[in-house]
Amino acid sequence: MTERIEITDFVTGEAVEAELFDDVAVEHFLEAQEEWRPVVVEARWKLSATGEQHLIPRHAHWDWTNKEEDLKLLAFTFYGLRCGGKLQGLMKLQTVGHRCRLPEQIGKPLVYVDYIETAPWNIKLLMRALGREPQYAPIGSVLIRAAVRKSIEEGLKGRLGLHSLPTSEQFYLHACGMESVDKDPAKQNLLWCEFTPEGAERFTTGGTL
Amino acid sequence: MKVNNDREWLKRQAALEDGDFVSVGGFVESMGVEELAGAQNVIPLRSAFARLIQLARRERNLSCEQFAARVDVDLAEVLGIEADEHYRPALRTVHQIANFLGIPDKKLLGLSGLLKVKDAQFQKAALQFAARAEPVEKLSQEEHSALEEYVKFLCER
């Protein structure tokens, strides 16, 4: 599947064409690793001068070699977003094996966001460290919207769950409107966030404000 | 469910997202690449990496150029790996070589110094291999001539 969508140029505010695709291959992870990683390292180095390097999640050290095996498994779905000839975001979903934790839908199956990352040039903190403006938005939202769609396709009505890193809580709770459930001791005390079908609908139809 | 794909939604989400991090914890604490690799551990493993590539290439009777073509990497990468233990190969190069040789990616990434390796046994085996693979046989006539000519050239300069 390849879908043409529009995203926004962060600086001009103009709409630009992008491609959302699900035929992700190991080359995409290699591309992400090779092109994203040096930018993150440079930004971390700049931030270390002001003692702010801790603001960059350790998750930046993800391991693409694990994902190569996952590409072959039906239980996982991958999405990528390309714009301006470059990969702008990647996401990995797990469609089986995870269940809801919110009391009103506890135990029901959901789609789990196992991995999601946007290119470092779309992250404000990193670009400010490098004296630049972020490039495109809203990469995270477009990917999460794709995850909600996948949940609907799987008959899970938009139910979605994930473990948010502390640096991402603002995005999931406020930009997406997901519900905060609790810190998960089994997952480094990361915050478990969840979409109900209603919450997912509010998000995808623009009712998060 | 109707999914809103209009520009208003994008604009609103762009403003709300505001260039935030979106990372999740599914893969948190996965192994560190490159900058976490302690420099003191990298050099010995890289020498094992260099010897491994060189022997694997020679075993197949391939020149560096032929090896680079078969593996689909730049010749400069192969030369850099074999000749310079400080050389940092590209991830793609290591991935391609791993595929070609049928060696797991992670193992070769560890040897190449791109991946931190905590396994003491892995390190010890790499060191032993590097030591054992160091050639001790007499030089061939061709090598002898090449060496002699090059030393002569250096002395004359």
Q: Is the dihedral of CA A91, B73, A40, B110 positive or negative?
A: positive
What is the SS3 assignment for A113? Answer: strand
Residue B42: its pLDDT value, please? 53
CA nearest B115 in A: which residue?
A63
CA terminus-to-terminus distance, chain B: 79
pLDDT by residue for chain A (209 residues), tens only, comes to 899 998 999 888 888 999 999 988 777 877 887 788 778 878 877 887 777 766 766 554 455 555 566 666 667 888 999 999 999 999 989 888 899 999 999 999 999 998 898 999 999 988 988 999 999 999 999 999 999 999 999 999 999 999 998 889 999 999 999 999 999 988 888 899 999 999 999 999 875 43
The neighbouring-strand residues paired with A91 are A79, A116
A180 to chain B, any CB pair closer than 8 A? The answer is: no
Residue A70: its pLDDT value, please? 63
> Which of B8, B10, B23 to mutate to probe the A interface, most A CBs <10 Å?
B23
Residue B38: its pLDDT value, please? 42
Residue B130: its pLDDT value, please? 78
Q: Which residue has the tokens 């990468």?
A: B77
| CA angle centred on A33, ends A29 and A38, rounded to 5° | 165
> Which of A34, A42, A171 to mutate to probe the B interface, most B CBs <10 Å?
A171
> Which of A70, A141, A157, A194 to mutate to probe the B interface, most B CBs <10 Å?
A141
Q: Would you say residue B25 lies in a domain? A: yes
Residue B36: its pLDDT value, please? 37
Residue A195: its pLDDT value, please? 97
Residue B110: its pLDDT value, please? 79
Give me the residue from B10, B24, B109 closest to A15, CB to CB. Answer: B10
Q: Would you say residue B41 lies in a domain? A: yes
Residue B87: its pLDDT value, please? 83
Domain hosting A146: range is 2-206
Q: How far is A170 from chain B (nearest CA, A)?
A: 8
Structure token digits, residue B74: 């730049």
Q: Tell me: the pLDDT tens digits for A21-80? A: 998 877 787 788 778 877 887 887 788 777 776 676 655 445 555 556 666 666 788 899
Fill in the DSSP letter of residue A101: -
What is the SS3 assignment for A146? Answer: helix
Q: Which residue has the tokens 């030369």?
A: B79
pTM of the model: 0.66
The total number of structural domains that make up chain A: 1
Q: Are B113 and B46 in contact (CB under 8 A)?
A: yes
Rounded-to-integer distance, Cα A133 and Cα A13, Å: 12
Question: Does residue B89 come out as left (phi exceeding 0), alpha (psi in the -120 to 50 range) or beta?
Answer: beta
Going by pLDDT thresholds of 50, 70 and 90, the confidence category of residue B142 is confident
B138: domain CATH number is: 1.10.260.40
Q: Are strands A136-137 and A2-9 parallel, antiparallel or unpaired?
A: antiparallel
The side-by-side arrangement of strands in the sheet containing A179-184 is A136-137, A2-9, A15-21, A76-83, A86-94, A111-118, A160-164, A190-195, A179-184
Q: Tell me: the pLDDT tens digits for B126-136? A: 887 877 777 76
Q: Do A65 and B109 touch (CB under 8 A)?
A: yes
Element (H, E) at A128: helix A124-129
| CA angle centred on B100, ends B96 and B105, rounded to 5° | 55
Rounded-to-integer distance, Cα A115 and Cα B22, Å: 10
Q: Tell me: the pLDDT tens digits for B59-102? A: 888 999 999 999 988 899 999 999 887 788 877 788 889 888 88
Cβ atoms within 10 Å of A131's Cβ, excluding its own? 7
A15 to chain B, any CB pair closer than 8 A? The answer is: yes
Rounded-to-integer distance, Cα A5 and Cα A17, Å: 6
From the number of C-beta atoms within 10 Å of its C-beta (0-12, 13-18, 19+), residue B50 rates as: buried
Residue A199: its pLDDT value, please? 96
Q: How far is A135 from chain B (nearest CA, A)?
A: 9
- Which residues of A fall within a CB distance of 8 Å from B98? none
Residue A76: its pLDDT value, please? 80
Give me the residue from B2, B14, B21 closest to A171, CB to CB. Answer: B21
Q: Which runs of E-coded beta strand occur in A47-132?
A: 76-83, 86-94, 111-118
Residue B131: its pLDDT value, please? 79
Share of chain B above pLDDT 70, in %: 78
Q: Per residue in A168-194, is it b (16+ CB within 10 Å) or e — as a string?
A: bbbbbeebbbbbebeeeeeeeebbbbb
Residue A145: its pLDDT value, please? 95
A99: domain CATH number is: 3.40.630.30
- CA A84 to chain CA centroid, Å, is 19
pLDDT surpassing 50 at residue B35: no
Q: Would you say residue B1 lies in a domain? A: no
Domain hosting B77: range is 7-156
The total number of structural domains that make up chain B: 1
Rounded-to-integer distance, Cα B94 and Cα A141, Å: 34
What is the SS3 assignment for A36? Answer: helix
> Which A residues 134-153 touch B at CB under 8 Å?
134, 137-145, 148-149, 152
Residue B28: its pLDDT value, please? 34
Q: Do B9 and A206 touch (CB under 8 A)?
A: yes
